[in-house]
Amino acid sequence: MNDYKKISRYLIPYKLVVVSSSISNILYVFFNLFSLTMVLPFLRLLFGQQQLVTQKPEFHMSMSSLVDEFNYTFSKIIIDEGKENALVFLCFLVIVAFLLKNLSRYMALFFIAPARNGIVKDIRQAVYDKVLKLQISYFTDSKKGDIISRMSSDVAEIDYSITSFIEVVFRDPLSIVLYVGWLFYINPQLTLIVFVILPFAGLIIGLVGKTLRQQSNLSQTSLGNLISVFEETLSGLRIIKAYTSEKFSQEKFKEENAVFNKLMVNVSRKRDLSAPLTEFLSIIILTFIIWYGGKLVIGANPTLGADDFIMYCIVFSQIIPPAKSFSTAYFNIQKGMASFRRILKILDAEVQIMEHDEAVEINGFNEKIEFKNVSFKYDTEYVLKNINLTVAKGKTIALVGRSGGGKSTLADLVPRFYEPTEGDILIDGLSIKKCKQSSLRNLLGIVTQESILFNDTVYNNIAFGRDTNEQEVMHAAKIANAHEFIVQLDENYYYSIGNRGEKLSGGQRQRMSIARAVLKNPPILILDEATSALDTESEKLVQDALQNLMKNRTTLVIAHRLSTIQNADEIIVIEKGEILERGSHATLIAKNGVYKKLYELQSFA
């Protein structure tokens, strides 16, 4: 029930249109009932099967009083206007009733459209906003394809199922209640017997709905796996072709596709079962009515008139469509709630890196960055152990060591991509936990080994959300040694670089990343193996661009090629999460320790 409360919160901004749609649905129900039930009593009076009512009845709130009032009004029309004119009036009344009924139906759909689409928009936005808030470690533990599936197909399922329930929740129950009330008026005894049987039909529908929800949850999980395989294929297409692994990849996708197909067949069959199952159960009950009601009409002591029995059957038959619609909506909401629960796993995920209510703005960097007794672990094994390190303003500190030693993790702690398990990091004596995250990250420029670019123009990738102009972007590109190749592109700075910048070379992508950092003009730089994946010529251009970027800045460099960091103010050698050696290049060579071995290995290579 708590999940239903959570999704109902998304209705609040649209309460006005929901109320308007509900009122229209209520009008639709009344006009529908009126158009059905007024014809037979009118014809009875018109054809003389029932005596005309000439004396105005006393009104009180009951079904019989409403019927008496109806008969008196129609009798007056027949007496005053004559039978032929009364028949014309009846035909006109039927047309008007059906016009109002269908107009009300359209207005209900008209009003609900903003709510249906708005709720889906708001849920999609909430998921996106939460993705931006969640710590990076959340996405290392989750498949990207599964998250994309929740953002797309699960949200679409809510549009199809849960929001459609908004429409029927007011209309169909009210229709059933009014029709049942009319049935009670015609014959209470028969109606009571019928509605003793109905709960058994509801139990059957509920059991099928429960299995549908379970199957829906499995199918959405399977779709996430399928999208993950497809996303990995797109990312690794070059490797798949290079290793002639097309057959292997086809089989992997084929297997996931078959699992998803099997689940969706089961889901479709169960959902499609709702309407025919409801109709079949209703027909069984209607058959019972014909048998039992017929005995009341043709028995030795008839207690039900033939015309009333016909009206009873007609009205009961009108219960079947809303019952079908309501049961279909019930089945849909089971499927929709399975999707919403998958979305809630993202929306309810704990944001581990929180910003304190009393967090302060940090507007500049004046002295130093301090790592005090910092330890970190992802799961159970420590990646960093008791790190103590000071990075003074204007200095370049290089982190070196074998892969997996914890260098990148240490750098990722500064912008709070991860939170230290133990210890603290301070900037100018202030714990970064007490800083507003946006102000902390505004101090930092980050260039990684993999250039993260977006499917947009060169200009927008360099500017990337900053309020700037073309002169500033060009100036940043020149400092990053990127201007020369940019002006040779078809549309210069407005050339679209493709998905992840695939239209550019590795060196070009890296220089664009550097240009983005130059434009930001941060006082602190984090360079994570920014040249390790480049060829010699590209490395020279990128290294020159990095030297331009590092001027007058505090820099934390993670280096794979030791030749690029010989001029660093201090080199930190990290092995298995611990600092083994530290000092200048010359000092560490003289120590004849781990650093010298690494340096000689690279020099020999």
3-state secondary structure 510-561: HHHHHHHHHHHCCCEEEEECCCCCCCHHHHHHHHHHHHHHHCCCEEEEECCC
pLDDT digits (tens, 9 = 90+) for 428-438: 888 888 888 88
pLDDT digits (tens, 9 = 90+) for 352-365: 777 787 888 888 88
Angle subtended at Cα 397 by Cα 392 and Cα 403, rounded to the nearest 5 degrees: 145
Residue 596 tokens, joined: 């010298």
Q: Give the DSSP H/E element, type plus range, for residue 53.
A: none
pLDDT digits (tens, 9 = 90+) for 380-392: 788 888 889 888 8
Query: Using CA of residue 595, residue 597, residue 600, residue 602, what is the dihedral sign?
Result: negative
C-alpha span between 10 and 13 (Å, rounded): 7
C-alpha span between 20 and 26 (Å, rounded): 10
In the predicted model, is pLDDT for residue 602 greater than 80?
Answer: no
**Residues comprising the chain, all counted:** 605
C-alpha span between 210 and 337 (Å, rounded): 11
Domains of the chain: 15-113 (no CATH), 126-350 (1.20.1560.10), 368-604 (3.40.50.300)
Of the chain, the percentage scoring pLDDT greater than 70 comes to 79
> What pLDDT is attached to residue 605?
47
Provide the terminal-to-terminal Cα distance of the chain, rounded to the nearest Å.
65
pLDDT digits (tens, 9 = 90+) for 297-310: 776 677 777 767 77
Residue 425 tokens, joined: 């990091």
> What pLDDT is attached to residue 67?
67
In the predicted model, is pLDDT for residue 479 greater than 70?
Answer: yes
C-alpha span between 86 and 42 (Å, rounded): 9
393: three-class secondary structure by DSSP: coil
DSSP 8-state class, residue 300 = S
pLDDT band for 1, please (50, 70, 90 cuts). Answer: low
348: three-class secondary structure by DSSP: coil
Residues contacting residue 204 through CB under 8 Å, at least 6 positions apart? 277, 281
Helices 83-133 and 15-37, interaxial angle, to 10°?
150
Higher pLDDT, 457 or 293: 457
Token pair 């002591």 in the structure block, residue: 301
pLDDT band for 490, please (50, 70, 90 cuts). Answer: confident
Arithmetic mean of pLDDT over the chain: 78
> What pLDDT is attached to residue 220?
65
Give phi and psi for 300, each to the nearest 5.
Answer: -60, -40
Average of per-residue pLDDT across 409-425: 88
Single-letter code of the amino acid located at 99: L
pLDDT band for 203, please (50, 70, 90 cuts). Answer: low
Average of per-residue pLDDT across 156-179: 71
Instruction: Decide: 397 and 414 in contact? Cβ < 8 Å.
Output: no
pLDDT digits (tens, 9 = 90+) for 175-193: 777 777 777 777 777 777 7
- Reference 353, options 465, 474, 436; nearest CA is 436
pLDDT digits (tens, 9 = 90+) for 547-586: 777 777 888 888 777 777 788 888 888 888 888 888 888 8
Give residue 373's region: left, alpha or beta (phi > 0; psi -120 to 50).
left
Query: Using CA of residue 85, residue 91, residue 97, residue 99, what is the dihedral sign?
Result: negative
pLDDT digits (tens, 9 = 90+) for 438-462: 888 888 888 877 777 887 888 888 8
Helices 470-479 and 536-550, interaxial angle, to 10°?
120
Query: Using CA of residue 514, residue 519, residue 523, residue 524, what is the dihedral sign?
Result: negative
Instruction: Decide: 334 and 160 in contact? Cβ < 8 Å.
Output: no
In the predicted model, is pLDDT for residue 37 greater than 80?
Answer: no
> What pLDDT is attached to residue 327?
65
Alpha-carbon distance values, 78 to 4, 36, 88, 95, 100 (Å): 53, 20, 11, 19, 24
Helices 188-235 and 162-186, interaxial angle, to 10°?
170
> What pLDDT is attached to residue 56?
75
pLDDT digits (tens, 9 = 90+) for 110-134: 888 888 788 888 888 888 888 778 7
Pick the range with the lowest mean pLDDT from 67-76, 256-265, 493-502: 67-76
